[in-house]
Amino acid sequence: MNEKLISIVSNNNSQSLYAENILVKTLIDRNFKVKTEYDPDAELLITIGGDGAFLRTMHKYDFPEMPVIGINTGHLGFFQELLPQNIEDFVDKYERNEYRIDEIKHIEAEICTLTDCMHVIGINEIVIKGDKSATIHLLITLDNDVLENFSGDGILVSTTAGSTAYNYSLGGSIVHPKINILQITPVSPINTTAYRSFTSSVILPESTVIGLKPEYTYENSILIVTDGMEYNYKEIESISIRYSEVGTKLLRMNNYNFWYKAKEKFL
């Protein structure tokens, strides 16, 4: 790690480039070294954009080990803690070590087909659904104990960090970041005399291993969506989802307050 080297990754829209110019000038004036691209040797990674830009950056660079902080030039900006007008104040506090590091845990899915097994990692969530919006039927197990035979559009498994993302829009619960849980939230479940599925979220301990076995009727293709990125696999035999050993270190200002952020963004 190169002390005093700051790596900046921007989504390059006009607002982000404006913020980037201010940030670069401010950092150089304080004798920091700056690269306006990803550098694995940097002591800090700063992403500029919205939450989508943050997630794409994490996936593109294979979940960097250095701390990350974001400047929001997008819409919601739940991961992006700073605003462009706060850049000088942020650099002041960073130099004085007035911050903390919060680590968020990721989830991973092992997807096994007839011929191979693959792994995908998610920061917010992993979604299992039928290709081309087809109804999906899944046998769901928790630590090898049967939970239900699910039918519907799909299921979403979220991390604590992802509880405020797609999970929340599906009616799932917002979870405080100090509580590590897995949350299964159904996507348009079918609940009739023919099919019985949970219609609300299920909250699980972080050690839980969620098993999924597809029941194929017409199509044999399932869509895996992790943080908005789609993967299509044919002839899936089983899916196993659990917390990953990989995590992301978020740099937070000392005055960061989760519930203030949640109320600001959602209420």
Kindly list the catalytic residues. 51
Nearest to 16 by CA among 101, 93, 89, 87: 87
CB within 8 A of 204, min separation 6: which ones?
142, 181, 182, 183, 184, 210
Distance CA 125, CA 210 (A): 13
Distance CA 111, CA 95 (A): 44
* 93 CB burial (10 A radius; 0-12, 13-18, 19+): middle
CB within 8 A of 10, min separation 6: which ones?
16, 17, 19, 20, 36, 47, 48, 49, 53
Q: Which amino acid is at 34?
A: V
Cβ contact 181:205 at 8 Å: yes
Q: Where are the alpha helices (DSSP H) in the chain?
A: 14-29, 51-60, 87-95, 166-169, 258-266
Distance CA 215, CA 262 (A): 38
Phi-psi region of 7 (alpha: psi -120 to 50; beta: other; left: phi over 0): beta
* 141 CB burial (10 A radius; 0-12, 13-18, 19+): middle
